[in-house]
């Protein structure tokens, strides 16, 4: 199967984890797109749920499909969040934010009882870092922050949109991607980034995921993170 077929297969499979009356977090990205499409079909067939989303584009897709939606502030819990990932290492740590929605994604994930990630097999890695690590940053003082990241040897680059301008997130912030190649100590890096003024959120998603559904050539594979 090609990559899109793998994504579609895991997206459809992941909806099996959604049970009636759940409050579900809907992630963002190309694999999640297929999950939301399948969820829309099941809602139209009678599945009763409510959902929160991690981006305006997922909200718009879900709304068109008739999926009942709530704002995060209007729910008291989230039973399950299904989202994609850009990399997952052998310890179930991840990088997310390739779509620029990682602040919303992490907020929903941290407020979920369970997190399930859906990926094709190319996203499973031994060590994180080949995929650039996204930082959502405040535009105010972003150049000074950029220089600080450079001095630390973190190889930063502003993410640029198709018009050649700094890409804007849903929160109207910028994204700086760190081209690290390898992250040997993700928890130490996450702690350092957490203490840098101007960084709204980084794309290291650590100690969060419970289940991963991986798209393989012989079909979706379910991997449980036993902690």
Residue 29 Cα distances to 2, 106, 138, 158, 193, angstroms: 17, 14, 23, 20, 24
Phi-psi region of 100 (alpha: psi -120 to 50; beta: other; left: phi over 0): left
Residue 2 Cα distances to 6, 13, 23, 82, 217, angstroms: 6, 17, 32, 22, 8
The structure tokens 């809907």 sit at: 26
- C-beta separation of 87 from 132 below 8 A: no
How many Cβ atoms from other residues are within 10 Å of residue 33's Cβ? 18
Among residues 38, 87, 105, 136, the one annotated as catalytic is: 105
Active site annotation includes 63: no
Is 117 in a helix, a strand, or coil? strand
Residue 144's DSSP bridge partners are none
How far apart CA 224 and CA 222 sit, in angstroms, is 7
Binding residues: 28-31, 83-86, 96-99, 123
Closest CA to 79 of 32, 21, 28: 21
Binding residues for substrate: 28-31, 83-86, 96-99, 123
Tell me the catalytic residues: 105
């Amino acid at each position: 199967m090609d990559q899109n077929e793998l994504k579609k297969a895991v997206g459809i499979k992941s909806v099996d984890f959604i049970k009636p009356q759940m409050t579900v977090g809907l992630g963002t990205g190309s694999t999640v797109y297929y999950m939301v499409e399948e969820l829309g079909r099941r809602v139209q067939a009678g599945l009763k749920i409510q959902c929160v989303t991690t981006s305006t584009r997922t909200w718009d897709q879900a709304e068109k499909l008739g999926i009942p939606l709530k704002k995060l502030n209007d729910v008291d819990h989230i039973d399950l969040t299904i989202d994609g990932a850009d990399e997952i290492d052998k310890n179930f740590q991840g990088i997310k934010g390739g779509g620029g929605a990682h602040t919303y994604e992490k907020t929903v994930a941290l407020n979920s009882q369970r997190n399930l990630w859906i990926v094709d097999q190319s996203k499973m890695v031994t060590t994180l870092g080949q995929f650039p690590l996204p930082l959502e940053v405040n535009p105010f003082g972003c150049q000074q922050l950029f220089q600080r990241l450079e001095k630390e040897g973190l190889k930063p680059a502003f993410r640029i949109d198709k018009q050649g301008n700094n890409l804007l997130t849903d929160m109207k912030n910028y994204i700086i991607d760190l081209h690290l190649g390898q992250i040997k100590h993700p928890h130490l890096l996450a702690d350092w980034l957490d203490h840098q003024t101007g960084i709204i959120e980084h794309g290291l998603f650590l100690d969060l995921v419970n289940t991963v559904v991986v798209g393989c050539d012989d079909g979706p594979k379910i991997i449980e993170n036993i902690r």
